[in-house]
Amino acid sequence: MTLNDLTQMFSTDEQCRALLKKLRWPYGVECLRCKSKKVFELAEYAKFECGECGYQFSVTTQTIFHDTHLPLETWLMAVLLLVEARKGMSANQLKRTLRIGSYKTAWYLCHRIRAAMKELDRMMLDGTCEMDETYVGGRHRGAGLRGRGAGKEIVIGIRQRSQEGRTGELRFFHASDVKSGTLARYIRESVSQDVDVIVTDDFSAYPFAMRKAAVTAEHKRINHSSGVYVEGDVHTNTVESAFSLLKRGIIGSWHKISAKHLPAYLDEMQFRFNRRKNPDLFIDTLRHMITADPLTFANLIA
């Protein structure tokens, strides 16, 4: 799907609603209250009424599109721009590109699309996985701070290497520390019991984390502290390239990132990354949006 395709195929509210209807109810419109399929289209524009319980609704009722003041065409365009921007896109950029009236509206729009980009079904990673940690953001640099990454946010990355034509998946976590117990928790959450190899650097917490997570796979370590970065297939370059994409995204498009919203950005990057070879990314995201819980502004700023 290109921007050109989109403007040709979905340039009216009616066309957008028809698409959302297909995605929300692939087997025919269903009452939102009683699940009955005996649903009638009302003469009033885009409204349905249930023949069983009388409930009236539209394709956007109880979804993130509900109560929106933006045209659906703009929503669709925003989704396409966000899924196509590899490094992400800031609310300001979206506001300018789509000529959205206020920054707040554009910001809210970005976050609602991000909420839909959350992974719904995470599979456990197997084969060879690389694990590493990185530090992002943080305005207080230097003076008075001790230790690596002081004042910054910690991101843990686990990336499965590609194998047999299958692209490896990525997991990002916003961590509060890099203690072995914390690392172990992320390993248990993401890595399958059948994983063959886990590659990390020589950071001292990893061997303890492997033990705590009860990983039986081989743990290979690359000696970063002595300046060695690749030794045959022992390296963490694959997860590091995902980190560099994340950092370019933070610097290039989000500018300043608050710790509170970091998990949402990580979800977005991860979602896009894991679907980078998926030609249906746009439709998949829209499908998530029309089936996911609505995210209210009050929830978002809470």
Contact between 42 and Zn ion per CB under 5 A = no
**CA 132 to each of CA 45, 66, 73, 84, 213: distance values in angstroms, whole numbers, following the listed order:** 53, 40, 40, 26, 16
**At its nearest, how many Å lie between Zn ion and the CB of residue 72?**
24
Q: Is 195 left (phi over 0), alpha (psi -120 to 50) or beta?
A: beta
Contact between 15 and Zn ion per CB under 5 A = no
Amino acid of residue 145:
L
Closer residue to Zn ion in complex, CB, 32/77: 32
Q: Which stretch binds Zn ion (CB under 5 A): 24-32, 193-201, 214-222, 224-232?
A: 24-32
Closer residue to Zn ion in complex, CB, 49/284: 49
The three-state secondary structure class of 223 is coil
Q: Which of 15, 25, 30, 33 binds Zn ion (CB under 5 A)?
A: 33
Do residues 77 and 99 touch, judged by C-beta distance below 8 A?
no
Task: Say how many residues touch Zn ion, by CB under 5 A.
Answer: 8
Contact between 47 and Zn ion per CB under 5 A = no
Contact between 52 and Zn ion per CB under 5 A = yes
Mapped to the 3 state alphabet, what secondary structure does 114-164 carry? HHHCCCCCCCCECCEEEEEEEEECCCCCCCCCCCCCCCCEEEEEEEECCEC
Closer residue to Zn ion in complex, CB, 40/297: 40
Q: Which of 20, 50, 77, 125 binds Zn ion (CB under 5 A)?
A: 50
* Footprint on this chain of Zn ion (rule: CB under 5 A): 31, 33-34, 36, 50, 52-53, 55
